[in-house]
Each structure stands twice: as C-alpha cells, then as structure tokens.
Structure 1
Amino acid sequence: MATTYSISDLAHEFDLTPRAMRFYEDMGLLQPERSGPGGRSRVYSNRDRTRLKLTLRAKRLGLSLTEARELIDMYDSPRDTQPQLRKFLEVLTGHRAQLEAQLAELEATLSEVSEHEKEARTLLARLERAAAKRGAAASN
C-alpha cells in the first residue's frame, strides 16, 4: 500500500501552514486525493510530497511558483530529460544574472554607506575636538 499524508503531516514536516499547502494546491503544484464526507479531507501521495519538496527548493533558489510548477511538471512527464534540463538551466541562468545584478547594487550601496559613515565620523570627531577646546578654554 502506498504511503499517504494528511495536510497536517506535510505542513508539519516542511514547517508550513495548512493555508500555504492549500495555496500550493491552488497553484497546481499539489494534487491531493479527496476523502471523507463530501471529499473535505485531503490525502497527499509520495508524488505530492516530492513535488512539495521540489517547490520549496525552487523557492529557495529564487524561482517563482509558476516557474517551479513548469519545471516540476516537465519532470513529471515521461519525455526525454534533455529539454527539461535545458529549461532548468535557462531558468537558473536567468536567476543567476538577476541575483548578480542585485548583489552589484547592494555592494554599490554598501560602499556609499561606508563613505557616509566615514564622513560622519570625521565630522563628529572634529566637532568633539572643537567642543573639548571650548570647554578647556572656558575653564581657564
């Protein structure tokens, strides 16, 4: 018999809320079976567990849920894996470029902040020296 999971089983395992699980289902990433009165209970399969794991990995890599679904759906199909790998590399290359651009912006901003800090420290030191001289002169 195949292993099945409840929504709370997977939510707990992957540190998600049931609401997030339902959102992933709405996005087409998960397709649980329904059971119980009126089909209200969700029953997740090993396939759903794997898809959830891949979805969360894709999110950590910076992919959108739509991109994650497209890639995961490609791996779900029994087609040749070369087009799947090409698409995956294409998506990763795009995200790498985007992250490198963001990193360059952050480094430029950090450099600017460092310059402002240096200027502010120099000015503060001057002001403190001037105040100390005034205090020494006033006490004489």
Structure 2
Amino acid sequence: MAGSSIHESRSADPAADADQASDFTISDLARDFGVTLRTLRFYESRGLIAPSRSGMTRIYSARDRARLALILKGKQLGFTLVEIRAMLANEDKKGGAGEGAASVGGLQLSREQIVEQLDLLRSQRAEIESAIAELEGSLTRLGKA
C-alpha cells in the first residue's frame, strides 16, 4: 500500500491485525477501524490510548490497537468515554475478567452495568420510536393536503 503505512497488508478484521504486527501508524488505525485521525488524537488526549513517538510520528502498539477496539465497542454499546475509561482502567488493574463480570464485545461488564445500559438504551429506543411516529404522522398529514 502507498503512504506512510508501517505494514503492507491488512485482514478484514481490524482487531485480528494486532496478531500479525506490533507497530501501527495513526493512518493505519484510522483506515482499519474507520475513524478519523482527529478521533484518534482525541482518544489520546483523554488518556484512552497512549502511542509512543518516533520524532513527530505516533506509533501505536498491538495493545493500543486492542484498546481502540474496546473503546469503539463501548461507544457502540452506548457507554460514555468516562465509563469506557473506567472499564479500561479496571481491566488494566485486574488483568482480565473479574468475578461477577461478563464479556460483552471484549469489555468486562458487571451485571449492574449491563442492566443500567439496557435500561438506558430501551428508554432511548422508546423516545426514538415516539419521534418516528410523530414525524410519520406529520408526513401523512402533509400528503393529504
């Protein structure tokens, strides 16, 4: 591949690439995970990932890559970055799944965290369904005019 990429080939699974190589540029991660460079810099500024540097170039390790996969899974599940940071810190401290925790997309979540997140997502779904119904009603009324 062209550019400043450290590695030339990638698999279809960004997380699996961590097993194949140990160093990645910011462009590698952005491309492989479908995020912007700005997003990666933001996560770095928040202490969620910590690449090393070679001059002005950020060098991401397999660990950074795995953490990014967990961050993105946490975001997909609706967790805030503060909550994700706490989960990552807990993971670092315990070194894996703790007692009473379940792995959800690689994130170790307690029963309480799962129940709270389900309640929040269900509430948001109800609000979205209500908004959709209201907009569909408005569209129907416009069509009759």
Q: For residue 33 of structure 1, what is the aligned residue in structure 2? A: 52
* TM-score when normalising by structure 2: 0.67
> Which structure is higher in helix share?
1
Give the Cα–Cα distance (whole angstroms) in 1 for the partners of residues 45 and 100 of structure 2: 26
Out of 71, 75, 89, the residue aligned to residue 111 of structure 2 is 89
Larger radius of gyration: 1
Identity %: 36
Give the Cα–Cα distance (whole angstroms) in 2 for the partners of residues 95 and 28 of structure 1: 23
Stretch deviating more after TM superposition (77-86 or 27-36): 77-86
> Which structure is higher in strand share?
2
Q: Is residue 106 from structure 1 mapped to residue 123 from structure 2 by the alignment?
A: no
Task: Using the TM superposition, give the Cα deviation of residue 88 of structure 1 relative to its aligned residue in structure 2, in angstroms.
Answer: 3.7
Q: Is residue 60 from structure 1 mapped to residue 76 from structure 2 by the alignment?
A: yes
Name the count of aligned residue pairs: 119
Q: For residue 134 of structure 1, what is the aligned residue in structure 2? A: none
| 1:75–1:84 Cα contact (<8 Å) kept | no
* Superposed counterparts of 1:6-17, under 5 Å: 6-17=25-36
Out of 28, 37, 41, the residue aligned to residue 22 of structure 1 is 41
Task: Using the TM superposition, give the Cα deviation of residue 120 of structure 1 relative to its aligned residue in structure 2, in angstroms.
Answer: 7.1
Q: Is residue 48 from structure 1 mapped to residue 58 from structure 2 by the alignment?
A: no
Unaligned segments of structure 2, at least 5 residues: 1-20, 103-107
Task: Using the TM superposition, give the Cα deviation of residue 61 of structure 1 relative to its aligned residue in structure 2, in angstroms.
Answer: 0.5
